[in-house]
């Protein structure tokens, strides 16, 4: 009989010769092995077209651990690598799946693994549907153990394509067998949003429109599009970052406390928060959203080209590399509280932060100083530092009787600065254990696309934007400042 909690399994990585497997998946699997999370009975099968041997895969796994500076214990490295096997196949050919099934069966025998099968799709999205369908039709999913499908982004490029993809994979896998990855949900401090909110008696009573004036979420990058120009130019920041990571953070901040900390209850509250997002109609888009594209500039002392000069990007591209937006959530808790988001490439800092700004005191007893009392802020540092800061007011130590902001800090630098290997490690571990809490349910995906599609369509209908409109190495176009200024706010600095 199927035991959902049994962790002993075979992990098949489709796309094992690719970038994601090398940079994120192999180091994560090693870390899980080193921590004893995988136990002795597991196998990893790398699948791709390249004509590699088992040994070539193992050499590449070892190389990926070295390049990612994973701490390796040489004593058990060979034992670890012995669990890796490679199969050369084309995912579009039916015969491939019969060969793969034979290899899985052999390894289940060799390593004494129950028929628990994890299929990780680290492949371009056009293959997601066909792979899922072949896995079922060719008998690789089974009734004896569990079957899980881990699926990378992008999950569609709009609501209709996402729905079509979902229908395709649902033909082969049940919703509870599908693990849609949003790697932000694997980040330590994103997971901590719930803990900060629901394990601290001092915050929950204040977590509403009576006490919070606005919430700001920034995810800025210093990198450009690197080798992903071909994908990114068809996607843009709205669909690459807002539809998934930014809206997931909004949902976690806005949701009601779940009645229990179970996958179903948490997802249900996130879904309700996303349902309450006020849609932005075409004629309002400029009032609520700002788009930008970087021109040439200087990022951290290096001259960099503008977006339109990046490899595989259309020289007249109208794709946005920056988005700022004001989101409103129409429910009792949040009515009237703007959630500002911004994300972009080639910005001044690599930083993901959430600033929760509390309302002013009802009366300023320190008015004689002609100084405004600084608003209280709760800052959640997601990356590269991880932690929280609380900004209060204290008295200046100079006998002036004036107030000064005082920062209470709990922060530490994440092990690898960018934190993503740990995110993948956590997500893989969760999926192996059958915990889908930090993966996105189809309803969340659908609601996010619905929200984002309206903005995208409104932009499409307008004439081409005046791009480039921000310099690489800056904080985005000036209109992003206006978005908050019109409400009497400003973006809090990223180095707070």
Ligand X SMILES: O=C1O[C@H](COP(=O)(O)O)[C@@H](O)[C@H](O)[C@H]1O
373 binds ligand X (CB under 6 A): no
**Residues near 24 by beta carbon (within 8 Å), at least 6 away in sequence:** 420, 421, 424
Q: Residue 85: which of 72, 104, 112 has the closest Cα?
A: 104
Q: DSSP string spanning 346-378?
A: SBS--EEEEEEEEPPPSS-TTGGGT-PPPPPEE
Query: Contact letters (x/-) for ligand X, 137-156, by CB under 6 A?
Result: ----------------x---
What is the distance between the alpha carbons of residues 55 and 79, in angstroms, rounded to a whole number? 13
CB-nearer residue toward ligand NDP: 15 or 338? 15
Regarding 194 and contact with ligand X (CB under 6 A), the answer is no
Q: Which is nearer to ligand NDP, 124 or 406 (CB)?
A: 124
Instruction: Residue 182: name its binding partner from ligand NDP, ligand X, none (Cβ under 5 to 8 Å by kind).
Output: none
How far is residue 348's CA from residue 307's CA, in Å, rounded to a whole number? Answer: 15
Active site residue 490: no
Contact residues for ligand NDP, defined by CB under 6 A: 15-20, 23, 48-50, 89-92, 122-125, 152-154
Least gap, CB of 153 to ligand X (angstroms): 6
Nearer to ligand X, 9 or 241 (CB): 241
> Strand order in 470-472's β-sheet?
302-304, 294-299, 470-472
The pair phi, psi for residue 231, each rounded to 5°, is: -70, -50
> Which residue in the list 83, 85, 245, 441 is annotated as catalytic?
245
Q: To 10 degrees, the CA torsion angle through 448, 453, 459, 461?
A: -170
330 is in an annotated binding site: no
Does 403 appear as a known binding residue?
no
Dihedral sign for Cα atoms in the order 348, 419, 293, 322: negative
Please tell me whether 270 is known to bind a ligand.
Answer: no
Verify binding: residue 420, ligand X, rule CB under 6 A.
yes
| SS3 call for 409 | strand
Q: How far is the CB of 420 from ligand X (least distance, A)?
A: 5
Question: Which partner from the list ligand X, ligand NDP, none does 418 bind, CB cut-off 5 to 8 Å by kind?
Answer: ligand X
48 binds, among ligand X, ligand NDP, none (CB under 5 to 8 A by kind): ligand NDP
Closest distance of CB 92 from ligand NDP, Å: 5
Beta carbon of residue 380, minimum distance to ligand X (angstroms, whole number): 14
Q: If contact means CB under 5 to 8 A according to the sort of partner, which of ligand NDP, ligand X, none does residue 240 touch?
A: ligand X
Q: Would you say 63 is a known binding-site residue?
A: no
User: Distance from first CA to last CA of the chain, Å, rounded?
Assistant: 53
Question: Beta strand pairing status for 178-180 and 289-292?
Answer: unpaired
We find the least distance from the C-beta atom of residue 182 to ligand X, in angstroms, to be 8
In degrees to the nearest 10, what's the CA dihedral of 7, 20, 475, 461?
-100
Contact call for residues 123 and 14 (beta carbons, < 8 A) = yes
- 83 among annotated binding-site residues: no
d(CA 470, CA 479): 10
Q: Give CA–CA dist 197/257, Å, rounded.
A: 8
Q: Does 240 bind ligand X (CB under 6 A)?
A: yes
Q: Is 77 in the site for ligand X (CB under 6 A)?
A: no
Q: Is 372 annotated as a binding residue?
A: no
- Residue 92 binds which entry of ligand X, ligand NDP, none, CB below 5-8 Å type-dependent: ligand NDP
18 is in an annotated binding site: yes
Binding residues for substrate: 183, 187, 221, 240, 345, 350
Which positions are annotated as active-site residues?
245
The site for ligand X (CB under 6 A) is made up of 153, 219, 221, 240-241, 352, 418, 420
């Amino acid at each position: 009989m199927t035991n959902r909690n049994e962790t002993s399994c075979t992990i098949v990585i489709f796309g094992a010769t690719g970038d994601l497997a090398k940079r994120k998946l192999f180091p994560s699997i090693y870390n899980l092995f080193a921590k004893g999370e995988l136990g002795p009975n597991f196998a990893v099968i790398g699948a791709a077209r390249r004509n590699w041997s088992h040994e070539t895969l193992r050499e590449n796994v070892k190389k990926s651990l070295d390049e990612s500076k994973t701490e390796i214990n040489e004593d058990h490295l060979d034992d670890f690598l012995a669990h890796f096997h490679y199969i050369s196949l084309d995912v579009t050919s039916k015969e491939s799946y019969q060969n793969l099934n034979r290899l899985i069966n052999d390894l289940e025998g060799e390593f004494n693994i129950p028929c628990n099968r994890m299929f990780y799709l680290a492949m371009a999205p056009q293959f997601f549907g066909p792979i899922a369908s072949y896995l079922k039709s060719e008998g690789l999913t089974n009734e004896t153990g569990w079957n899980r499908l881990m699926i990378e982004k992008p999950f569609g490029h709009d609501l209709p394509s996402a729905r079509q993809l979902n229908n395709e994979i649902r033909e082969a896998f049940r919703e509870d067998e599908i693990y849609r990855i949003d790697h932000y949900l694997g980040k330590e401090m994103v997971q901590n949003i719930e803990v900060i909110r629901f394990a601290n008696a001092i915050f929950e009573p204040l977590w509403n429109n009576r006490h919070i004036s606005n919430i700001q979420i920034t995810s800025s990058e210093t990198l450009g599009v690197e080798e992903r120009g071909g994908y990114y130019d068809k996607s843009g920041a709205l669909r690459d970052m807002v539809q998934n990571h930014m809206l997931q953070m909004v949902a976690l901040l806005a949701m009601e406390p779940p009645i229990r900390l179970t996958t179903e209850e948490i997802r249900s509250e996130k879904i309700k928060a996303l349902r309450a997002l006020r849609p932005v109609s075409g004629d309002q888009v400029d009032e609520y959203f700002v788009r930008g594209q970087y021109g040439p500039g200087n990022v951290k002392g290096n001259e960099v080209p503008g977006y339109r000069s990046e490899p595989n990007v259309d020289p007249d591209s109208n794709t946005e590399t920056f988005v700022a937006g004001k989101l409103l959530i129409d429910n009792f808790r949040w009515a009237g509280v703007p959630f500002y988001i911004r994300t972009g490439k080639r910005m001044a800092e690599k930083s993901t932060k959430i600033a929760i700004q509390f309302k002013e005191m009802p009366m300023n007893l320190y008015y004689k100083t002609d100084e405004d009392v600084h608003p209280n802020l709760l800052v959640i540092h997601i990356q590269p530092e991880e932690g929280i800061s609380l900004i209060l007011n204290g008295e200046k130590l100079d006998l002036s009787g004036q107030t000064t902001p005082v920062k209470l800090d709990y922060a530490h630098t994440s092990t690898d600065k960018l934190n993503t290997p740990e995110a993948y490690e956590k997500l893989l571990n969760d999926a192996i254990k059958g915990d889908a809490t930090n993966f996105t349910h189809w309803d969340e995906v659908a609601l996010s696309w619905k929200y984002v599609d309206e903005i995208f369509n409104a932009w499409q209908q307008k004439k081409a934007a005046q791009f480039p409109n921000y310099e690489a190495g800056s904080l985005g176009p000036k209109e992003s400042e206006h978005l908050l200024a019109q409400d009497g706010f400003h973006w809090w600095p990223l180095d707070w």
